[in-house]
Amino acid sequence: MKIDRHAKTVDLDPRDPAFFNDPYPVYEEIRTVSPTFFWNEYGMWCFTGFADVSRLLRDKRFGRQILHVATREELGLAPPKPHLSDFDAVEAHSLLELEPPAHTRLRTLVNRAFVSRQVEKLRPEIAALTHATIDRFAADGEVELIKAFAEPIPVSVIARMLGVPQERCDDLLDWSHAMVRMYMFETDEAAEHAANQAALDFADCLTELIAERRRHPTDDLLSHMITSERGGDRLSDAELISTSVLLLNAGHEATVHQTGNAVKAILENGLDHQDLFKDDGSTAAAIEESLRYDAPLHMFTRYALEDVVLDGGIEITKGQEIGLTLGAANRDPRQFAEPASFVAGRPDQANVTFGAGIHFCIGAPLARLELQVSLPILFERLPGLRLADTPRYRDAYHFHGLERLDLAW
Ligand code: HEM
C-alpha cells in the first residue's frame, strides 16, 4: 500500500490477500493519515469514519441509482452490454437499485413480511433446521463449516419463506454465486456471460413458480407478494421476479459469511460460549458485537445526484461515485472504545453493518434471528469446538467472508 499524505490518495490493491484476509490494520493505517481518502484503484473518494458513513448513507444528495436524474450520455457512461440484457432486466426492478418514488412503493409492498414480529415466528423452524443440519456431521469430529452449516441454513430459510421448493436450493446457490460475481472488483466477460445465464435461469424458474402460485395461492411470501396491494397498486411480474431474486440472493449471501465470521471471531478470541449465549439478551448482544467486529459486507457505493462539496472541501460532481467502507466505520476509535476488541454487551454498541437510511437492510431482523438461534445450538451441540486450520477469506474484498472454516471437536 502507498499513501500520499498530502493528496490523501491511497494505492491499495483490493485483491491483495494480505489486505482482504485482514483489512483492519490497513484501515487503521489509512485512518491515521486521513479518514477520508481517494482510493486510486477504485477511482473514488472513500470514507472510513463512522459518523461520515452513517450520515452519507442517509444523505439524499446521494443515491444507489443515477440514471433517474441523468442520461448515460450526460454521464459519459458506456451503453449497456447486450450480453448482460437478462441480468440488467432483473436488476432494473431491484429494490436495491431503485430510488424514490419507485423504491418507496416497492419497499412498502414487501416490507411487511420482514418486520421483527413476523420474522420471530420462524424461531422454532430455524432451530429445527439447525439441529437437522448439525445431525449430518455431528459424529464426524470435524467439519468445513461454510458448506456444511453456514450455507444451507439461510438458503433453506429464505427459500421456504418465499415458497421456492427445497430441491431448488442448490440451483439458487449456483445462480446467486454467479450473479454476485458481478459486484466484485474485477469481472471478465466469462463471468458476465455466466451471470447473465444465471439471471435468465433464475427468472425462468420464478416465472413458472409465479404462474403456479397465481393458480394455487398458498401462505408463502410469493403468494402474498402476488396479491399484496396498496391503494390498488400491485407488483408487476417483472417486479415480482426482481424482488424474489434480490430476496433470495441477499437473503443468504451475507448471512452465510457472517455465520463464518462470527464463529471464527468467537474461537480466535477464546470466548466462552456459555457466557456469551447464557440467555436471549446476552445472545443478542454477542451477535450484535460479531456483526460490528467482523462485518460480511465491507463497502457500498453511492452516486452523487448533484454536485456536492463535503467537509474538507472534497468536491464530488454529479454522477461520481463515493465508497462507504462499513467494515472500517465499525472499527472507528472515535465511536468505539477499543474497537479491535470483541466486547459482547459493549455500552457503545452501534454498527453500520446493515447500512442506514432508505436502503437499510430489510432482512436485518431475519439475519439477526438466524444467527441468534443457530450459533448457540452449534456451540452447545459440539463441545470443544476449535479451529483445525487457519481460516482464509475469499478473494472478493466487498464480500468479506471465509472461503473455508475447518473445525474439529
Ligand atoms: C448478516 C446478514 C446481512 C447483512 C450484513 C446485510 C447487509 C445489508 C446492507 C448493508 C444493505 C444496504 C446496502 C446499501 O445501502 O447500499 C442491505 C440491503 C438489503 N438487504 Fe441485507 N444484509 C443481510 C441479510 C439480509 C437478509 C437475510 C435479507 C433477506 C430478506 C436481506 C435483504 C436485503 C434487501 C432486500 C436489501 C435492499 C433494501 C433496499 O434497498 O431498500 N439482507 N443489506
Per residue in 83-133, pLDDT (tens digit) is 999 999 998 889 998 999 889 988 988 888 888 888 999 999 999 999 999
Q: What is the pLDDT of residues 364-373, one digit of tens each?
A: 999 999 999 9
Residue 292: which CATH number? 1.10.630.10
Q: Which distant-in-sequence residues (6+ apart) come within 8 Å of 5 by Cβ?
A: 33, 34
Asked whether the beta carbons of 44 and 56 are under 8 A apart, the reply is: no
Q: Of all protein residues, whose CA lies closest to atom 9 belonging to ligand 1? A: 354
In one letter, which amino acid is 346?
R
Closest CA to 180 of 251, 80, 131: 251
Residue range 134-193, pLDDT digits in tens: 999 999 999 999 999 999 999 999 999 999 998 988 899 899 989 988 877 677 889 999
The helix/strand/coil state of 157 is helix
Per-residue confidence (pLDDT) for residue 303, from 0 to 100: 96
- Cα(362) to centroid of ligand 1, in Å? 6
Q: Distance, CA 91 to ligand 1 centroid (Å)?
A: 15
Nearest CA to ligand 1 atom 29: 251
| Cβ 247 vs Cβ 162: under 8 Å | yes
CB count within 10 Å of CB 238 equals: 13
pLDDT tens per residue across span 312-335: 899 999 999 999 999 999 999 999
300 touches 326 (CB < 8 A): yes
In 163-298, where does DSSP find H-type helix? 169-180, 189-215, 221-227, 237-250, 253-268, 273-276, 280-293
How far, in Å, from the CA of 4 to the mean position of ligand 1? 34
Percentage of the chain exceeding pLDDT 70: 99
- Report residues whose beta carbon is within 6 angstroms of any ligand 1 atom: 57, 64, 95-96, 107, 114, 158, 246-247, 250-251, 254-255, 258, 296-297, 300, 353-355, 359, 361-363, 366-367
Over residues 5-58, the pLDDT tens digits come to 999 999 999 999 999 999 999 999 999 999 999 999 999 999 999 999 999 999
CA of 253 from ligand 1 middle (Å) equals 10
252 C-alpha to ligand 1 centroid (Å)? 10
- Between CA 110 and CA 119 the distance in angstroms is 13
Rounded to whole angstroms, the Cα distance separating 88 from 100 reads 19
Q: Which pLDDT does position 305 carry in this prediction? A: 96
From residue 57, how far is each of 230, 252, 322, 350, 370 by CA, in Å? 27, 23, 11, 15, 25
Closest atom, ligand 1, to C-alpha of 367 = 27
- Residue 368 Cα: closest atom of ligand 1: 1
Q: Which residues lie closer than 8 Å to 16 by C-beta, 6 or more apart?
A: none
pLDDT tens-digit readout, 219-240:
899 998 888 776 677 888 899 9
pLDDT digits (tens, 9 = 90+) for 375-392: 999 999 999 999 999 999
The domain of 288 spans 2-408
The domain tally of the chain equals 1
